[in-house]
Amino acid sequence: MSGKLKDKVCIITGATGGMGRAISATFAASGGLLVLSGRNKEKGMALEKQLKNSIFIQGDVSNAEHNKTLVQVALTNFGRLDILSINAGVLGLGNVVDLPIESWQKTLETNLGAIFYLSKFAIPHLLEGNNGNILINASIAAFKSFPNHPAYCASKAASVALMKQLAVDYAPKLRVNAMCPGPVDTPLLHDSAIAFDNPESAVENAKEKSLLQRLGTPEDIAKLALFLVSDDSSWITGSTINIDGGILNV
Ligand SMILES: NC(=O)c1ccc[n+]([C@@H]2O[C@H](COP(=O)([O-])OP(=O)(O)OC[C@H]3O[C@@H](n4cnc5c(N)ncnc54)[C@H](OP(=O)(O)O)[C@@H]3O)[C@@H](O)[C@H]2O)c1
């Protein structure tokens, strides 16, 4: 197999979701050796079967131990670790008064805590190579508020802050960046509609508001992810790249 990620060992979280699945397929087609994380065993096993050189590990990223296991599986099976693509995320919808404390905590632990856990266990091994790379899937919600999204927006803003801190602490050996997608056509986007005043038209409204008049596709995001983890972006670190059809510019 030849390609931009030839023999690079990658851990991909949220691999069973819309974007994570497209990122997994793109990285596999580019020669990556993959450890895939998700909660849904059926989807994960089907992906493992479909993609060459991939191993699916079922687990909950908000649990530190699952993140440790992902690193161990990469080292045991592939002998090294090069790339983290961190995509697992939940919405945790509800305004501050209504949101149960458990939902706040679970959202922060899934969207933010998991970045800390996986980075903590993986970085010593990423530093053993010369081109270690961490790519965080954040969101335009890091910069813009949405109704009834306090846990989500707070977790995404903090993810960007954590990304910048990692980039500073581990340069020049590690590059660390974040993608900030706008509305992308995945289950999570459609699930978010209930947070808006007119849930039935919320997704269509997002599409119409964007300069490019369409939703993003998981493949749009996967192409950016490949660029950011490959040597094509070798002078980019500590950056947030918006990929949003221009919606933040409106
Ligand atoms: N879609 C958008 O418009 C949009 C925009 C900006 C940013 N994002 C971000 O992009 C990332 C991917 O989202 P998506 O749109 O692809 O959503 P998705 O299709 O709903 O996928 C979410 C993924 O996260 C996994 N996940 C959630 N909680 C988990 C947990 N506790 N432990 C392990 N895995 C967990 C899910 O696993 P299972 O399915 O196996 O449960 C699934 O693989 C998220 O971080 C999201 O915040 C999305």
Range of the domain at 213: 9-249
Residue 142's pLDDT is 98
Residue 159's pLDDT is 98
Residue 75, in any domain of the structure: yes
> pLDDT tens for residues 15-71?
999 999 999 999 999 999 999 999 999 999 999 999 999 999 999 999 999 999 999
Residue 13: CB partners within 8 Å, gap ≥ 6? 20, 37, 38, 61, 70, 84, 85, 86, 87, 88, 114, 118
SS3 for 178? strand
Residue 1, in any domain of the structure: no
Residue 2's pLDDT is 58
Residue 174, in any domain of the structure: yes
- Kindly give the parts of the chain with pLDDT less than 50: 1
Q: Is the CB of 122 under 6 A from ligand 1?
A: no
Q: 133 C-alpha to center of ligand 1: Å? A: 20
Residue 107 belongs to a domain with what CATH number?
3.40.50.720
Q: 20 C-alpha to center of ligand 1: Å? A: 7
Q: Is the CB of 89 under 6 A from ligand 1?
A: yes
Locate the ligand 1 atom nearest the alpha carbon of residue 156 and give its number.
Answer: 47
Q: Is the CB of 19 under 6 A from ligand 1?
A: yes
Residue 2, in any domain of the structure: no
Residue 130's pLDDT is 83
Residue nearest (by alpha carbon) to ligand 1 atom 18:
17
Q: 238 C-alpha to center of ligand 1: Å? A: 22
Residue 3, in any domain of the structure: no
Task: State the pTM of this model.
Answer: 0.98
Give the chain's domain count.
Answer: 1
Q: 90 C-alpha to center of ligand 1: Å? A: 6
Residue 66's pLDDT is 98
Cis peptide bond upstream of 172, omega within 30: yes
Locate the ligand 1 atom nearest the alpha carbon of residue 152 and give its number.
Answer: 47
Q: Is the CB of 85 under 6 A from ligand 1?
A: no
